[in-house]
Amino acid sequence: MKMIEVKNLTFSYDDTKTTIDDISFSVEEGSYTTIVGHNGSGKSTVAKLLAGLLEKKSGEIYLGGLELTAANLTRIRSLIGIVFQNPDNQFIGSTVRDDIAFGLENHCVPQADMDEIINTNAARVKMTKYLDHEPTRLSGGQKQRVAIAGVLAMKPKILIFDEATSMLDPQGKDEIKKVIRQIHEESSLTILSITHDIDEVAQSDHVIALNKGKIAMSGTPHEVFTDEKKLKEIQLDIPFALKFRNALARRGVQTDAHITMEGLVKELCRSDSNM
């Protein structure tokens, strides 16, 4: 089933420039899609349109088979959870527990059910032992994990990450990428992650590359990274392709069953000797 379906979507912030220019794409339920593209290509705008935070100019958006319209905005919003870039802007509670509880309280979840939901989701992001800690004192990676637990507690069907790892140190980035991968493996949640992180792209099922508000490329990580000519055109050029190749190699055959280890080694040796 298509969990996200976008047809001929167009959007403009101020009518002087078309920010999202007639894009169409769909995302299968339970899949993990990354969105790449250089700064200003429209990635965050797409995320905000999907979440109903911006109003489209034309086109259609369907989430879980339901069309996003003013009349069913509340239902649509309950399907989506978003984790943003800045870990410091996502806290409301004075403890990690309060923070995860916040959305649940707003949705009138009975107190009796709350503890179990909080504990389950803190465990999913490995933050159980921090439940009584102050969120402000956590590391960036831990803060993002709490933000993810808070979003998961609301039981969304679609999880959107808008550069959720970009402000973190390497360790924090790795923690979050691992959590995202684990959520993907253990649940049927549909994941859409906007990222500049090549390793994250390599671990996804599908990549959409945006350029100037249009979809420039779309396919498996392997299909996208091998089209170096096109990558160059959209300024995600050779270093991107090389890093991508290496990231895929680090993941071995896992992301791409039809690349043999021998093929990967050959590719890597060739790219190393060209550097």
Ligand X SMILES: Nc1ncnc2c1ncn2[C@@H]1O[C@H](COP(=O)(O)OP(=O)(O)OP(=O)(O)O)[C@@H](O)[C@H]1O
Binding site for Mg ion (CB under 5 A): 43-44
Considering beta carbons, is residue 43 or 145 the nearer one to Mg ion?
43
Out of 33, 34, 41, 190, the only residue in the binding site for ligand X (CB under 6 A) is: 41
In three-state secondary structure terms, 134 is: coil
The side-by-side arrangement of strands in the sheet containing 32-36 is: 80-83, 158-162, 190-194, 32-36, 206-211, 214-219
* Position of minimal CB gap to Mg ion: 44
- Report residue 98 CA to chain centroid gap: 25
Count interface residues toward ligand X (CB under 6 A). Answer: 11
Is 45 a residue that touches ligand X (CB under 6 A)?
yes
Out of 8, 24, 26, 40, the only residue in the binding site for ligand X (CB under 6 A) is: 40
Is 43 a residue that touches ligand X (CB under 6 A)?
yes
Q: Give, in degrees to the nearest 5, the angle at Cα 4 between 60 and 69.
A: 40
Is 235 a residue that touches ligand X (CB under 6 A)?
no
What's the rounded Cα separation, in Å, for the pair 161 and 195?
8
Query: Pattern of binders to ligand X over 9-28, x per CB under 6 A?
Result: ----xx----x---------
Name the binder of 41 from Mg ion, ligand X, none, CB < 5-8 A by kind. ligand X
Considering beta carbons, is residue 6 or 46 the nearer one to Mg ion?
46
For CA atoms 245, 254, 186, 46, give the dihedral sign. positive
What's the rounded Cα separation, in Å, for the pair 137 and 247?
32
Is 44 a residue that touches ligand X (CB under 6 A)?
yes
Q: Which residues does residue 61 pair with via DSSP β-bridges, in sequence order?
A: 6
Max CA distance (Å), the chain: 62
**Stretch near ligand X under the rule CB under 6 A, chosen from 38-46, 117-125, 150-158, 214-222:** 38-46
The residues of the shown chain that bind ligand X, judged by CB under 6 A, are: 13-14, 19, 37, 39-45
